[in-house]
Chain A
Amino acid sequence: MSEPTITLNVTRYRPGQDLAPRSQPYSIPYKQDWVVLDALNYIKDHLDGTLTYRWSCRMGVCGSCGMMVNGEPKLTCAAFLRDYYPQEIRVEPLAHFPVIRDLVIDMSDFLDKLKSVKPWIIRKTEKPISQGEYLQTPAELEAYKQFTQCINCMLCYAACPVYGLEPEFLGPAAIALGYRYNMDSRDQGKDERQRVLGSHDGVWQCTFVGECTEVCPKHVDPAAAIQRSKVDTAQNWFKSVLLPWGER
């Protein structure tokens, strides 16, 4: 009696040795409850120890295991084999990023962009500890809570054609993160983020394709954050031009 198997076509790339990535097929046992990450781990443990890839929590909260599965950006810990079986599954590194090795991509551009939106509470006037905590109503929390759910998995960058075409683009997650802080009632840093968010490579590169929101595993809806940021940065710009002496 033979066990059912499924074939994974996995991208391999050895820096300094290969000129370009190539696809390598692996035939693995098919288990009903396995995800693509389980398949990759099986390959590494039993078939080919040289396969290199990132993963950690295996439950969709760390954002480490993002890859292209049959051309779609997915968390491999959330992509079930049974949704593809018996067809072959193509596993490639996350699109629009430089490839370091096999399925591992260089995320330094992404990290730089996250930092550029100053993702921390910025205060014009600090409140001394003796005055207690910053209070926030449930409604104020609702205004930005959705955008705190980002796990930095970069699936949205892989889905965004603008980021693929124009690597200078800030990108969905970074803009959503900037928006998250701008919408936080405790924050007073909108002006400091304006230059980066409102620049040509900021929100204005976005043509609202909407794919970022489609692929986001945490339902952050970065597309909404970007479009609302467009309204925000435009309003901000008008205010700064028409009322330059005003203090918000």
Chain B
Amino acid sequence: MAAFLVPIHIFIFGLAVPFGWITDSGALYRHWLVKLYLFVLISLPLYHWAHRFYFTLNDMRLGIPREPLALLCYGGAVAGTVVTAWVLLLV
């Protein structure tokens, strides 16, 4: 899912909107369907990152102890999910 959706969002929000090619007032994000979409879009890839980053850091043999690293990565993904939900509910 991240493979299909992330690139276009980087283009829109990282380049098009900051450069003013597209104007965006942000009103769109108040809609509950959009919030649901954004929740899935933002929180799910965090687990993908957690898994890959944990394995990659181990593969790079940097000597980082495994248990704290696992907590940091997978815990970080869970924390990110909670924060995402909180922000979207606030908006």
Direct contact of A and B (CB under 8 A): yes
A207 CA to B61 CA, complexed, in Å: 15
Q: Which 6 A-B pairs have the closest CB atoms?
A: A207-B55, A165-B59, A161-B59, A165-B61, A207-B59, A162-B59
- A207's nearest neighbour on chain B, judged by CB, is B55
Please give the number of chain B residues whose Cβ is less than 8 angstroms from any Cβ of chain A in the complex.
5
For the complex with contacts A162-B59, A165-B59, A207-B59, 5 further pairs of A-B residues with Cβ separation under 8 Å are A161-B59, A165-B58, A165-B61, A207-B52, A207-B55
Query: A-contacting residues of B (Cβ < 8 Å)?
Result: 52, 55, 58-59, 61
- Residues from chain B with a CB closer than 8 A to the CB of A165 are 58-59, 61
Q: With the chains together, A207 CA to B59 CA distance in Å?
A: 10
Q: How far is the CB of B51 from chain A (nearest CB, A)?
A: 9
Residue of B nearest to A205 (CB): B55
Residue of A at shortest CB range from B61?
A165
Min Cβ gap B16→A in Å is: 33
Residues of B within 8 A of A161 (CB): 59
- Residues from chain A with Cβ under 8 Å of B61 in the complex: 165
Contacts of A207 in B (CB 8 A): 52, 55, 59
User: In the complex, which residues 142-180 of chain A have their Cβ closer than 8 Å to any Cβ of chain B?
Assistant: 161-162, 165
Shortest distance between the CB of B89 and any CB in chain A (Å): 31
CB contact list, A175-229 vs B, under 8 A: 207
Once the chains are docked, how many angstroms separate the CA of A50 from the CA of B58? 40
Q: Say how far A230's CB is from chain B's closest CB, in angstroms.
A: 13
Q: Whose C-beta in chain B lies nearest to the C-beta of A209?
A: B59
In the complex, what distance in Å separates the CA atom of A161 from the CA atom of B59? 8
Contacts A/B (CB < 8 Å), 8 sampled: A161-B59, A162-B59, A165-B58, A165-B59, A165-B61, A207-B52, A207-B55, A207-B59
Shortest beta-carbon distance from B84 to chain A in Å: 26
CB-CB < 8 A to B52: which residues of A?
A: 207
Q: Can you name the residue of chain A whose Cβ is closest to the Cβ of B51?
A: A207
Smallest beta-carbon distance B70→chain A, Å: 13
Q: Which residues of A contact B55 (CB under 8 A)?
A: 207
